[in-house]
Amino acid sequence: MKRACLAAIVFFIFCTVTLTGGEELVGETESVEVIFSESIPKEAETDTNSIETTVDDSDEQNESVESEDNGRMAIFGLSWGMTPTEVKELGTRLKPEKKTDNLYIYSANSLPNNLKDTGSYTLVFSKDGKLVKIIMLSKKFINDIYGDQGRSRFEELALELSHKYQEISSIMETGIKAYDSEDEFYQCLAYPGCGLWVKKFRGENKDIFLQMNGIKKGEGYISITVEAVPEWDFAREAKDSIIVVDDADAL
């Protein structure tokens, strides 16, 4: 009974987190779900171990994860409220990916400050062109049958984030249903309701979701989703104003 209840909780949280990397996505923004959560790093065809030896972890973390909320500082060297033009002026190449009624979505391969195993980014701008959300996808972990590499990297990032932000919640559970063998770690995370590996942190002006994601057996990746508070909620709910009058006045 206890395990069944946990499975239901994990499935609910999985659905909530998967839609936007942290908060439920509703209304017209549902069409961008694939960009927010299901994108698999295209350039990540190499084992991340070869990446991690190139940069000192402590130095890289200090540069790429902001230590303080400085005004409207976001993360990865960006600030909330920046326009696409302002981001480009920092040397970032943005590629338009999708537009909804109230959101503009761009992709990028690098930002001013990057983690050593970054694969790609998604930047989300509000209807008025202000940065309100950042999603980082790491390079894939491959041939990581038991998830040891992924979990180790997840813990490194979680520790660094905990030094700078308040940890709000955490759930790290696999094998609730379907894939319950030790070598099915990533398969379980890819299967709704089987497991979830995520921590939520909060800063003065942002919510941060650190999540392990599964692709298939032995393959997965880490995502870091950062949402501007309170701008993200306003942005996703924004609608074009429609003036409604009496029939006699409209006709």
Residue 245 belongs to some domain of the structure: no
* In the block, residue with structure tokens 């997840």: 154
User: Which tops the pLDDT comparison, 85 or 66?
Assistant: 85
Question: Is-above-0.95 flag for pTM?
Answer: no
Query: Is there a domain that residue 211 lies in?
Result: yes
Number of domains composing the chain:
1
pLDDT band at 244 (very low <50, low <70, confident <90, very high): low
Residue 248 maps to a domain: no
23 found inside a domain: yes
Question: Which segment of 72-81, 169-178, 205-214 scores lowest on mean pLDDT?
Answer: 169-178
- Kindly report, residue by residue over 47-79, the tens digit of the pLDDT: 443 333 233 344 444 444 443 434 589 999 999
Q: With respect to residue 243, please indicate whether it lies within any of the assigned structural domains.
A: no
Each residue of 102-121: pLDDT tens digit? 999 999 999 999 999 999 99
Cα angle 187, 219, 141 (rounded to 5 degrees) comes to 145
Question: Which stretch of 30-39, 213-222, 231-240 has the lowest confidence by average pLDDT?
Answer: 30-39
Is 174 within the bounds of a domain?
yes
> Which stretch of DSSP H or E encloses residue 210?
strand 206-216
Average pLDDT score over the chain: 78
Residue 242's pLDDT band, with cuts at 50, 70 and 90, is low
- Domain limits for position 212: 2-237
Is there a domain that residue 250 lies in? no
Greater model confidence, 5 or 118: 118
Is residue 10 situated within a structural domain? yes
Which residue in 161, 26, 4 sits closest to 100, CA to CA? Answer: 26
